[in-house]
């Protein structure tokens, strides 16, 4: 039977594209959310400082 390498590369290529795309989605989403929560923490820290100014 013919080796059909094109089918092998198509299958592995598709898997690489899909898995890397999902990994990038997870990394990007995690970074966005981590940055967002950091900004919120800093914001609440500032408001705390505003309420209780240092002497």
| Residue ranges in contact with another protein by CB under 8 A | 1-5, 7-8, 10-12, 14-15, 18-19, 22-23, 26-27, 29-30, 33-34, 36-37, 40
> How long is the chain?
55
Least gap, CB of 44 to another protein (angstroms)? 13
Nearest to 34 by CA among 46, 45, 22, 42: 42
As measured in angstroms, the least distance from the Cβ of 34 to another protein is 7
What's the closest the beta carbon of residue 29 comes to another protein, in angstroms? 5
């Amino acid at each position: 039977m013919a080796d059909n390498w094109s089918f092998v590369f198509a299958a592995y290529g598709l898997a690489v594209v899909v898995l890397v795309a999902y990994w990038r989605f997870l990394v990007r989403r995690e970074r966005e959310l981590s940055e967002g929560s950091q900004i919120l923490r800093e914001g609440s820290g500032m408001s705390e400082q505003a309420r209780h100014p240092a002497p």
